[in-house]
Copies of this chain bind each other. A is one copy, B any other.
Amino acid sequence: MDIAILIYPRFTALDAVGPYEVLSRLPGARVTFVAEQATLQRTDTGQLGLLADAALEELPNPEIVLVPGGPGQSELMEDGPVHAWLRAADATSTWTASVCTGSLILGAAGLLTGRRATSNWQALDDLGGLGAEVVHERVVFDGKYATAAGVTAGLDMALSLAAKVAGDQVAQAIQLGLEYDPEPPFDAGSPGKAPAEIVEAVRAYSRFEHVS
């Protein structure tokens, strides 16, 4: 089972690596990190580089396509090679998935029109503007389309996806293998739970570029 994870300059590492860690443990999984060129891709901080082992054209028909988010998403809103590859891969994929603002890329490529979907909490209006039906949930499935909220939601999405692909027992074994029994030290992981001043600080600091 070929699983293609798209990476690009200024993606957010954990958006991609969380789902990779889950999905690579599926029986028969072969994960390939793909990019426009098969070269090192620097993350949003500039402090980490992941190698794209293949160029897009080398993996035209993956069973699972996954698009992470990150500030570099804003450079992928126009039609071009990435959108063309996504549309072609989606035409034959079993699952098409995104994490965080990766859903904006899927939306801009025309793949979420009229579909229930989610994104980073700062990007939900933009997602709606791209034609999706915005759902305020952490993980959203609509047919073969799986979208996750911000960054760490990719772990929850990938575990749900693993269960759909290989059954609950396999997904539970993966969860145990990753010792995913979360105990966050604070209860500040969503804008509805974090103190208002923290929400405003994050909004100001992240300077999320809204889709024009």
Contacts and interface: CB of A to CB of B under 8 A. Distances in A.
Nearest to A15: B21
Interface string A27-53: 000111100000010000101111101
A171 B189 CA distance: 10
Contacts of A171: 185-186
A109 interface: no
Given A12-B21, A185-B163, A152 B180 contact: yes
Identify the 9 closest CB pairs spanning chains A and B, nearest first.
A150-B179, A181-B189, A172-B188, A182-B182, A49-B51, A14-B21, A180-B189, A17-B17, A181-B190
Contacts of A50: 48-51
Contacts of A205: 173, 177
Nearest to A200: B173
A180 B184 contact: yes
Interface stretch (A59-67, A126-134, A153-161): A153-161
Copies of this protein, total: 2
Contact of A13 (B17, B32, B139): B17
A8 interface: no
A31 B48 contact: yes
B24 A18 contact: no
A178 B189 contact: yes
Interface of A: 12-14, 17-18, 20-21, 24-25, 30-33, 40, 45, 47-51, 53, 100, 120-121, 138-139, 149-153, 155-156, 159-160, 163, 168-169, 171-173, 175-191, 193-195, 197-199, 201-202, 205-206
Contact of A32 (B47, B138, B173): B47
A14 B178 contact: yes
A34 B20 CA distance: 22
Contacts of A24: 45, 47-48
A182 B187 CA distance: 10
